[in-house]
Amino acid sequence: MSAAKSALPRSQALKLLRAAAQVSRNAHAPYSAFQVGAALLTDTGAVISGCNVENASYGLTICAERNAIFHAVAVKKRKFKAVAIVASGKQMPFPCGACRQVLAEFGSPEMVVLVAPRAKLADYMELTLGELLPHSFKF
């Protein structure tokens, strides 16, 4: 967890991480075998999730975080308090640069970002979007 006081109660963080872990099992990852799930907590308390979907033409692959954001936009949700990202590997599944920028389009620098390996959800790391992407591109 980050050094600052947690912005989410541990019980709420674990609930969001479990939602991300559950959707990660739906990932289409035949090339990397790296299943990723993301769960967004909206400003109204709704949870919207997405998983990675790989393609033989790698440029057409979509990450879990962007999948979740695009799903949220499709159901008219555009304000988020937190995102949880969980993956099947052993390392912390930090979002790629493209996902960080898409998250920055909809989240504030104070938005909570939780990351954890699926096998060890209780060992999650918490940071803010501002810590992950301190100088995001803005129009």
Q: Which helix (H) or strand (E) holds 84?
A: strand 80-87
d(Cα 9, Cα 11) in Å, to the nearest integer? 5
105 to each of 7, 86, 90, 102, how far by Cα in Å? 20, 21, 29, 5
Q: How many CB atoms lie within 10 A of CB 1?
A: 13
Q: C-alpha 100: how far from its chain's center?
A: 9
Tell me which of 65, 110, 126, 131 is the catalytic residue: 65
Q: Is 65 a catalytic residue?
A: yes
* Best CA proximity match to 72, nearest among 46, 104, 99, 36: 46
With H, G, I as helix, E, B as strand and everything else as coil, classify residue 1: coil
Catalytic residues: 65
